């Protein structure tokens, strides 16, 4: 078993969740309020703008996903308080969203139309976030058991060789965290989804087992309750794709699977969860924020040029290669690296050390689509 | 200067739109076309008033286009809304396109 | 011949603005594009979050929109950031350079140094931005103008004041020999037969009916039926009686001119006069499509009030009612509420809009430009892969 420090330094919220960062979220409910949202966020040092292209003219599951994602952001342990800013006439109404978000943290919301224009909205919004900003300054990091770590893992553009090279370290890391009652959410590639039948014996219960089988038997990426059936003929998977999927399964070999996380849901227990997500880096990292992760690692063989708002994204390179620029890579898994080192590095980041992406301030947010706007 | 309290959206229209809520006995005024007409029903603002008799089955013209069919005879000065107008049926819509071809 | 003062581009098109932009082909580079724009004040970031993991119809639409945006007559120069071997940034740049546009592509790969990228990108942007300041406006025939017609946050007055007044302006633009593009397919449902009848020939009528049908089917796939859900109970309280009436209130932004052509989202018209573009009712996505299709100015009616603009084209807001103008004049350019008050006619307000279009074409800033509202989003057709 890995011997690592079993604590990190985090921020304890009133609802007992633990943040690795301390932010105030200013969240636009629709693209139309994104400019004023950014302006409000700029007025305080802890402010982060949660802006995106969605929120109006959406239907059915596509709309549900947008709402789930924003609710997840409000609930994320790295967010101390949230201000929702809308336009007023959008599908995604501020008042409804405000009701549906968790009550255990400070929150407020209004729309530009309600405030009679952008100038008033900015004034009123900055007043509210300034008050939050003052009360937040008293909050200090304290020593927290590692069981409060909620790690998101996102493999990006890996080959079979990369998976094989990294699997021992990643598997041992996941095992160690799960044993210490932490939460791990693995963002699956669409290839891994196709071979989930191979890990059915790891399912924690019958429901999860049936989900694993259902996902892997579907030829399309049918990840939400309904997708556009006209598109299904575009996605085909060949032997090489399936080999990639199988290689990814090595990361979680024999670790019990607690649940399948659909887009933007929050896992209900600790342990390992598998999340369905798009292949678009920024959309999937934003999904992990909504799923409550307080730390995200990108497993990759290239620099990644975007992190996400609210949660530190650590870029973990697999094998140091000559032609890869290292300035954006936080940690490299080499022949002699051990899971202990990787976890220690993660604990440092969780305790406040800035990642490269944080240093470069490359922090964006995007919500995935599962249907058309109208 | 007279101030209009209704608007006619196209010269060929047989309805106009009230700009204020109008009481029975008030007059519609549209200065530029010299229209003055007594109102026979209470008309909420934004709603339509008949300015030219429309028989059952005839077209309601707004914007110079057919926006529906009268389900009753409608007299001048009366309210034109869901109680005396229906939308077009699919077959009627198709006919109007075939007209074009 | 009427003229406006615009910027002449080497490829023979004319802009009403002289923007230098930075745009990203894939969502992963949104942050880098924003950083680069911050480094050179005056440079406009045009940021989008798709570009990868999309089904073919979405990818094609994204590429068409980005190409239309970069090659737009309001753009003096553009930097496109792309990523990876099969990225389309270089291809778009090469095609547009052939059309004499000032475009540079930087394609990022695994050995790219971010520091160097920022230094190189900044240097190029700084150089072209300084060059752009040398450009002078020249007299341009009004026939070179293309305007887009849009609404967002409609109310019971939209179809009575602002939209038909925009229609008056649109007819004047068409009479001048210029081009006017009506958008928002969803708004035409219920009155498509009326617009189809205005088509110049059977093919154009068929094209139009087809995009409406496809649109309805796409929505039906999600389990919703727009036709039977409209007019809504709220619409009826406001005085709308039938679906035809509601849709007519929207499409009357297009006035009464004959329909010359039906365009895909972000496609450029080949005809002058009144044309239609297949866009969603989601206004920011629709405006992005109109702009990418070559509109230099967009007219936007609003009843509830909306601050949104575009990074590349001026958006003129026309408020539908007097109260809106009273409380939100910071976002409204033209008050069509004067029609409700009985003070002005549709013709008066139509002419007022037309005159403002010419002033804005000459350089006058719209409210959205004054507030730096530069929202941008590309219409998404399907799920992310």
Nearest chain C residue to B33, by CA: C345
Note whether C290 and C150 are within 8 A (CB).
yes
The total number of structural domains that make up chain C: 2
Do A94 and A182 share a domain, yes or no? no
**C14 within domain boundaries:** no
The total number of structural domains that make up chain A: 2
Do C105 and C145 share a domain, yes or no? no
Chain C residues with beta carbon closer than 8 angstroms to that of A57: 186, 280-282, 285
pLDDT recorded at residue B101? 36
- In tens, the pLDDT along C266-293 reads 999 999 999 999 999 899 999 999 999 9
**A4 within domain boundaries:** no
Mutate to test the interface with B, among C154, C162, C203, C244 (most CBs of B within 10 A): C244
Chain C residues with beta carbon closer than 8 angstroms to that of B86: 242
C54: closest CA of chain A, how far (Å): 9
Chain C residues with beta carbon closer than 8 angstroms to that of A370: 383-384
Chain C residues with beta carbon closer than 8 angstroms to that of B45: 239
Cβ within 8 Å, pair C307-A117: yes
**A343 within domain boundaries:** yes
Cβ within 8 Å, pair B80-C241: yes
* C226 contact A CB<8A: yes
Cβ within 8 Å, pair C248-B63: yes
In Å, how far are B8, B29, C47, C212, C345 from B33, measured between CA atoms? Answer: 9, 9, 50, 37, 11
Cβ within 8 Å, pair B94-C196: no
- Which tokens go with B87? 């939308």
The three-state secondary structure class of C196 is: helix
Cβ within 8 Å, pair C346-B101: no
Do C204 and C276 share a domain, yes or no? yes
Can you tell me the mean pLDDT for C31-55? 90
Cβ pairs A/C, distance under 8 A: 205
Strands C138-141 and C3-8: antiparallel
Domain boundary pick from A136, A154, A179: A136
Do A349 and A313 share a domain, yes or no? yes
Nearest chain A residue to C324, by CA: A116
Instruction: Please report, rounded to a whole number, the percentage of residues in chain C having pLDDT higher than 90.
Output: 82
A297, containing H or E segment:
strand A295-300
Do C116 and C180 share a domain, yes or no? no
Q: How far apart are CA C243 and CA C231, in angstroms?
A: 5
Note whether C253 and C301 are within 8 A (CB).
yes
Domains of chain B in start order, with CATH, are 6-100 (2.30.130.110)
The residue among A8, A56, A49, A62 whose CA lies nearest residue A32 is A56
Burial class (CB in 10 A: 0-12, 13-18, 19+), C21: buried
Q: How far apart are CA C321 and CA C155, in angstroms?
A: 9
Do A158 and A96 share a domain, yes or no? no
* B97 contact C CB<8A: yes
CA atoms within 13 A on the CB side of A54: 27
Domain boundary pick from C69, C100, C132: C132
**A367 within domain boundaries:** no
Query: What CATH number is associated with residue A98?
Result: 3.40.50
Cβ within 8 Å, pair A305-C49: no
Do C184 and C68 share a domain, yes or no? no
The per-residue pLDDT of chain C, averaged, comes to 93
Do C268 and C166 share a domain, yes or no? yes
Do A212 and A327 share a domain, yes or no? yes
C130, containing H or E segment:
helix C114-132
The partner residue sitting opposite C380, judged by closest CB among A89, A113, A373, is: A373
Do A209 and A105 share a domain, yes or no? no
Domain boundary pick from C89, C106, C132: C132
Domain boundary pick from A83, A112, A136: A136
Do A106 and A155 share a domain, yes or no? no
Do C336 and C280 share a domain, yes or no? yes
- In tens, the pLDDT along B79-89 reads 999 999 999 88
Cβ within 8 Å, pair C242-B68: yes
Do A74 and A159 share a domain, yes or no? no
* B90 contact C CB<8A: no
Q: How far apart are CA B62 and CA C245, in angstroms?
A: 8
**C97 within domain boundaries:** yes
* B57 contact C CB<8A: no
pLDDT higher than 90, residue C347: yes
Domain boundary pick from C73, C101, C132: C132
**C148 within domain boundaries:** yes
Q: Which residues of C, range 12-71, sit inside 8 Å of A by Cβ?
A: 27-32, 35, 48-50, 52-53, 55-56
Nearest chain C residue to B86, by CA: C242
Do A253 and A129 share a domain, yes or no? no
Do C58 and C156 share a domain, yes or no? no
C10: closest CA of chain A, how far (Å): 33
Query: What CATH number is associated with residue C95?
Result: 3.40.50.11900
Q: How far apart are CA C253 and CA C167, in angstroms?
A: 4
Chain B residues with beta carbon closer than 8 angstroms to that of C243: 87
- In tens, the pLDDT along C217-240 reads 877 777 777 787 788 888 888 899
The partner residue sitting opposite A324, judged by closest CB among C110, C218, C382, is: C110
For residue B2, name the pLDDT band (cuts at 50, 70, 90): low
**C382 within domain boundaries:** no
Cβ within 8 Å, pair B9-C345: no
Check contact A-C (3+ Cβ pairs < 8 Å): yes
Do A217 and A268 share a domain, yes or no? yes
Burial class (CB in 10 A: 0-12, 13-18, 19+), A137: exposed
pLDDT recorded at residue A238? 87
Lowest mean pLDDT among A31-45, C92-106, C188-202, C210-224: C210-224
Note whether C258 and C175 are within 8 A (CB).
no
**Domain hosting residue A212, numbered range:** 146-360
* C328 contact A CB<8A: yes
**A372 within domain boundaries:** no
Do A162 and A307 share a domain, yes or no? yes
Chain A residues with beta carbon closer than 8 angstroms to that of C49: 52-53, 280, 282-283, 364, 366
Q: How far apart are CA A294 and CA A76, in angstroms?
A: 7
Do C125 and C145 share a domain, yes or no? no
The partner residue sitting opposite C164, judged by closest CB among B63, B87, B93, is: B63
The residue among A192, A190, A184 whose CA lies nearest residue A296 is A184
Do A207 and A284 share a domain, yes or no? yes
Q: How far apart are CA A197 and CA A199, in angstroms?
A: 5
Cβ within 8 Å, pair C280-A374: yes
Do C319 and C193 share a domain, yes or no? yes
Note whether C222 and A62 are within 8 A (CB).
yes
Cβ within 8 Å, pair C219-A112: no
Strands B48-50 and B79-80: antiparallel
**C378 within domain boundaries:** no
**A366 within domain boundaries:** no
pLDDT recorded at residue A215? 87
Domain boundary pick from A109, A136, A163: A136
**A5 within domain boundaries:** no
- pLDDT tens track, chain A, 374 positions: 455 568 999 999 988 999 999 999 999 999 999 999 999 999 999 999 999 999 988 888 888 899 999 999 999 999 999 999 999 988 899 999 999 999 999 999 999 999 999 999 999 999 999 999 999 888 999 999 999 999 999 999 999 999 999 999 999 999 999 999 999 999 999 899 999 999 999 999 999 999 999 888 876 554 333 444 444 445 678 899 999 999 999 999 999 999 999 878 999 999 999 999 888 899 999 999 999 999 999 999 999 999 999 999 999 999 888 888 889 999 999 988 899 999 999 999 999 999 999 999 999 999 988 777 76
pLDDT recorded at residue A262? 83
pLDDT recorded at residue A232? 45
**C375 within domain boundaries:** no
Cβ within 8 Å, pair B3-C239: no
Name every residue in C having a CB less than 8 A away from some CB of B: 156-157, 160, 164, 190-191, 193-194, 196-197, 199, 202, 205, 209, 236, 238-239, 241-245, 248-249, 252, 256, 339-343, 345-346
The residue among C213, C215, C205, C28 whose CA lies nearest residue C110 is C28
Chain C residues with beta carbon closer than 8 angstroms to that of B4: 342, 345
Q: How far is C-alpha A235 from the chain's CA centre?
A: 25
Do C34 and C167 share a domain, yes or no? no
Whether this model's ipTM surpasses 0.95 comes out as: no
Chains touching chain A, criterion 3+ CB pairs below 8 Å: C
Q: How many CB atoms lie within 10 A of CB A99?
A: 10
For residue B96, name the pLDDT band (cuts at 50, 70, 90): low
**C310 within domain boundaries:** yes
Q: Where are the alpha helices (DSSP H) in C222-251?
A: 233-237, 243-251
Chains touching chain C, criterion 3+ CB pairs below 8 Å: A, B
Do C96 and C175 share a domain, yes or no? no
* C256 contact A CB<8A: no
Do C337 and C363 share a domain, yes or no? yes
Do A239 and A350 share a domain, yes or no? yes
Residues 6+ apart with CB under 8 A from A292: A17, A72, A75, A76, A77, A150, A183, A266, A267
**A13 within domain boundaries:** no
The per-residue pLDDT of chain B, averaged, comes to 89
**Domain hosting residue C197, numbered range:** 140-370
The partner residue sitting opposite A327, judged by closest CB among C31, C114, C380, is: C114
- In tens, the pLDDT along C135-149 reads 999 999 999 999 999
The three-state secondary structure class of C87 is: coil
């Amino acid at each position: 078993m890995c011997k690592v420090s079993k604590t990190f330094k985090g921020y304890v919220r009133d609802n007992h969740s633990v943040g690795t960062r301390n932010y105030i979220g200013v969240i636009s409910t629709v693209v139309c309020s994104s400019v004023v949202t950014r302006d409000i966020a700029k007025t305080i040092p802890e402010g982060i703008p949660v802006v995106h292209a969605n929120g109006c003219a959406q239907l059915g599951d596509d709309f549900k996903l947008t709402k789930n994602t924003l609710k997840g952001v409000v609930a994320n342990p790295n967010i101390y308080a949230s201000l929702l800013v809308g336009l007023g006439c959008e599908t995604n109404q501020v008042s409804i969203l405000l009701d549906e978000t968790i009550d255990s943290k400070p929150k407020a919301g209004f729309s530009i139309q309600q405030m009679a224009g952008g100038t008033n909205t900015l004034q009123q919004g900055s007043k509210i976030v300034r008050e939050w900003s003052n009360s937040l300054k008293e909050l200090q990091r304290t020593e927290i058991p590692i069981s409060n770590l909620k790690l998101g893992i996102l493999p990006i553009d890996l080959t079979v060789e990369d998976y094989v090279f990294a699997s021992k370290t990643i598997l041992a890391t996941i095992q160690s965290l799960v044993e210490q009652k932490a939460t791990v959410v693995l963002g699956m590639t669409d290839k891994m989804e196709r071979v989930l039948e191979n890990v059915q014996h790891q399912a924690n219960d019958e429901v999860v087992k049936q989900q694993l089988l259902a996902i892997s038997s579907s030829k399309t990426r049918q990840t939400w309750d309904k997708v556009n059936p006209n598109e299904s003929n575009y996605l085909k998977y060949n032997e090489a794709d399936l080999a990639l999927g199988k290689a990814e399964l090595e990361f979680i070999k024999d670790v019990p699977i607690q649940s399948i996380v659909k887009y933007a849901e929050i896992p209900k227990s600790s342990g390992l969860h598998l999340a369905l997500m798009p292949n678009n880096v920024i959309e999937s990292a934003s999904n992990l924020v909504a799923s409550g992760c307080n730390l995200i690692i990108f497993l990759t063989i290239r620099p990644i040029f975007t992190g996400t708002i609210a949660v530190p994204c650590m870029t973990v390179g697999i094998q140091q290669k000559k032609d890869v620029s290292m300035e954006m890579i936080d940690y490299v898994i080499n022949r002699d690296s051990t899971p202990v080192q990787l976890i220690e590095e993660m604990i440092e980041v969780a305790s406040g050390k800035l990642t490269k992406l944080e240093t470069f301030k490359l922090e964006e947010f995007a919500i995935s689509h599962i249907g058309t706007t109208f | 200067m007279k101030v209009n309290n209704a608007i006619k959206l196209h010269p060929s229209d047989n309805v106009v739109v009230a700009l204020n809520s109008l009481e029975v006995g008030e007059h519609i005024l549209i200065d530029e076309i010299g229209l003055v007409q007594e109102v026979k029903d209470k008309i909420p603002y934004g709603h339509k008033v008949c300015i030219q008799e429309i028989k059952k089955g005839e077209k309601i013209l707004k914007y110079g286009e057919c926006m529906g069919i009268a389900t009753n005879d409608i007299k001048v000065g009366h309210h034109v809304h869901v109680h005396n107008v229906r939308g077009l049926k699919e077959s009627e819509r198709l006919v109007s396109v075939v007209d074009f071809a | 011949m009427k003229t406006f003062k615009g910027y002449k581009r080497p490829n023979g098109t004319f802009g009403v603005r002289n923007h230098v932009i930075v745009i990203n082909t894939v969502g992963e580079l949104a942050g880098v594009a924003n950083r680069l724009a911050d480094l050179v004040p005056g440079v406009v970031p045009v940021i989008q979050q798709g570009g990868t993991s999309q089904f073919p119809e979405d990818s094609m639409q994204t590429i068409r929109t980005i190409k239309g945006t970069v090659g737009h007559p309001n753009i003096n120069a553009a930097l496109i950031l792309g990523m990876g071997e099969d990225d389309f940034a270089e291809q778009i740049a090469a095609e547009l350079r052939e059309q004499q546009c000032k475009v540079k592509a930087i394609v990022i790969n695994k050995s790219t140094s971010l520091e160097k990228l920022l230094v190189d990108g900044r240097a190029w942007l700084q150089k072209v931005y300084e060059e752009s300041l040398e450009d002078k406006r020249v007299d341009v025939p009004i026939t070179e103008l293309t305007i887009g017609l849009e609404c967002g946050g409609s109310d019971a007055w939209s179809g009575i004041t602002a939209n038909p007044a925009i229609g008056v302006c649109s007819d004047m633009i068409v009479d001048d020999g210029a081009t006017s593009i009506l958008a928002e397919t969803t708004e035409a449902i219920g009155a498509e037969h009326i617009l189809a009848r205005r088509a110049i020939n059977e093919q154009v009528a068929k094209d139009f009916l087809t995009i409406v049908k496809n649109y309805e089917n796409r929505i039906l796939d999600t389990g919703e039926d727009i036709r039977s859900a409209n007019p809504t109970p709220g619409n009826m309280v406001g005085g709308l009686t039938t679906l035809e009436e509601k849709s007519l209130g929207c499409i009357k932004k297009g006035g009464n001119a004959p329909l010359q052509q039906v365009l895909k989202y972000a496609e450029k018209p080949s005809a002058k006069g009144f044309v239609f573009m297949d866009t969603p009712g989601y206004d920011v996505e629709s405006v992005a499509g109109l702009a990418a299709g070559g509109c230099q100015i967009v007219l936007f009616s609003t009843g509830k009030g909306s601050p949104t603009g575009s990074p590349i084209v001026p958006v003129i807001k026309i408020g539908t009612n007097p109260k809106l103008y009273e409380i939100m004049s910071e976002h409204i350019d033209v008050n069509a509420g004067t029609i409700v008050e009985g003070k002005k006619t549709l013709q008066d307000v139509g002419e007022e809009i037309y005159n403002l279009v010419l002033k804005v074409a000459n350089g006058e800033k719209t409210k959205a430009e004054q507030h730096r509202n530069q929202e941008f989003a590309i219409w998404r057709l399907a799920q992310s892969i």
